[in-house]
Amino acid sequence: MKKAHYIFSVTTVAVWFFLSGDVSLQHGLRIMNTVQATELVPDVSTFCTGRFLLDMPAGSVLSGGNYRYDFARLEKPKSMTLEEFEAEMVAKEKKLKSTRHESEPSLLRLLIKPDPHSWIFVYWEESFISEIAEVYGYRWIDGTRYLFKKQAGMSKPATGTMSRQDYTIERMRKILANLQKRSTHNIPTEPGYCFEDGFIANPEWEMEEAGIDITIADHPDAFVSVWFYPLARSAHSKPLLDRMGGVLQTLGQMATSVHVLRKGERQVGPYRGQEFLASAPSSRGMRGHKFIWETEGDGTLDTPALKIELTTGYRDKKGNPQQTRLTDEQAIKLWDDVLNSFRLRPVLDPQGSRP
């Protein structure tokens, strides 16, 4: 309904100009196309990390990330053909089989292929290791190779229970089966975990962590970082404002160069947290910003600890400090826009997950 109304409105503008005699029909159509193009260009780029969304200025890019899902460490997805993927898998199998272990025939314990494009290797990392096995899960999807890394202990399981190795293999099978390819700005509508170039469909929260950096469009010296992990911060550190107060005391007279722009309690969506906004000079006298917001979390899977940061005046690739073009007011405005956009990703079928 909204789309039909929009088309009607744009068409009306062009026809009205034509009938009024101010422009030709061809010019009117050009106006209509220009208006359409202008209306359709988004002013933000939305990023999905874990089960959360964050809006950034249009053109901002993901510049780094670390991800853990269900105790598996996710390697950066790699572009390759199916032939290259199969060659890599065959080479890994050959190497593990040809390397002897001190107490077993080779480093390779098990090789499982859940489907033609999925491989799970269970192996010893070194010939003398026998307490912990590596469990690596590979999957190829449409030109991209994904790799998940787990470990399994070899301690004897309790009577009637599954071994740690078998349990870890089953968890890896589930990850690979639910894995989907995803472009950076494709936002899934089903529940699950987003990571760089991928998505794991699952209505249930697992042990999920992530840390990403997003370079801000037109500001190469500035980036936003987002972290989350299912551990209450209160379990291992003081609240943000307490820690920052201690830092300023430690700096002594040097603290006079730090300008505290804003600090206090701040709620972001349903998450109660604290923020600390400051600017400070670099070693070369160039002033930059460091804004931080944290929530301690409740220590549960679906109420993780969260941390968001904005950094400006960051060093370039050669290690040289950069002068930020953002004034204090502009940096605060950007910060508020980013924080206000942070939210849980809405899903079409939220059964089994918390909205």
Per-residue pLDDT tens digits for 120-152: 999 999 999 999 999 999 999 999 999 999 999
- Report H helices in the chain: 2-19, 25-40, 82-98, 164-178, 240-251, 328-341
The residues spanned by each domain of the chain are 2-40, 46-69+207-344, 72-179
Helix, strand and coil percent figures for the chain, each rounded to 5: 30, 35, 35
Determine the pLDDT at residue 235.
58
Q: How far apart are CA 151 and CA 73, in angstroms?
A: 10
Q: How far apart are CA 76 and CA 186, in angstroms?
A: 18
Residue with tokens 């409740």: 298
Q: How far apart are CA 153 and CA 131, in angstroms?
A: 6
| E strand or H helix that includes residue 56 | strand 52-57
- What tokens appear for 302 in the block? 């679906």
- What tokens appear for 60 in the block? 């901002």
pTM over 0.95: no
- If phi > 0 it is left, if psi is from -120 to 50 it is alpha, else beta; for residue 243 that is alpha
For domain 72-179, the CATH class is alpha beta
Please state the φ and ψ torsions of residue 180, each to the nearest 5 degrees.
-135, 150
Q: Which residues pair with 260 in a beta bridge?
A: 278
Number of C-beta neighbours around residue 113 at 10 A: 11
Q: Are the CB atoms for 192 and 178 separated by under 8 Å?
A: yes
46-69+207-344 is a CATH 3.40.50.300 domain: no
Q: Which amino acid is at 85?
A: F
Determine the pLDDT at residue 14.
30
Q: What is the pLDDT along the chain (355 residues), one digit of tens a residue?
A: 433 333 323 333 232 222 233 333 343 434 334 444 444 556 899 999 999 999 999 999 999 999 999 999 999 999 999 999 999 999 999 999 999 999 999 999 999 999 999 999 999 999 999 999 999 999 999 999 999 999 999 998 888 899 999 999 999 999 999 999 999 999 999 999 999 999 999 999 999 999 999 999 999 999 999 999 987 655 557 889 988 876 665 655 555 678 899 999 999 999 999 999 999 887 667 888 999 999 988 878 888 999 999 999 988 888 887 889 899 999 999 999 999 999 999 998 645 444 4
Residues whose CB falls within 8 Å of the CB of residue 224, separated by 6 or more in sequence, listed in order: 54, 56, 60, 213, 214, 216, 308, 309, 310, 311, 338
Q: Are the CB atoms for 266 and 275 separated by under 8 Å?
A: yes
Taking alpha carbons only, the member of 263, 256, 315 closest to residue 292 is: 263
Per-residue pLDDT tens digits for 18-52: 223 333 334 343 433 444 444 455 689 999 999 99
Determine the pLDDT at residue 257.
77
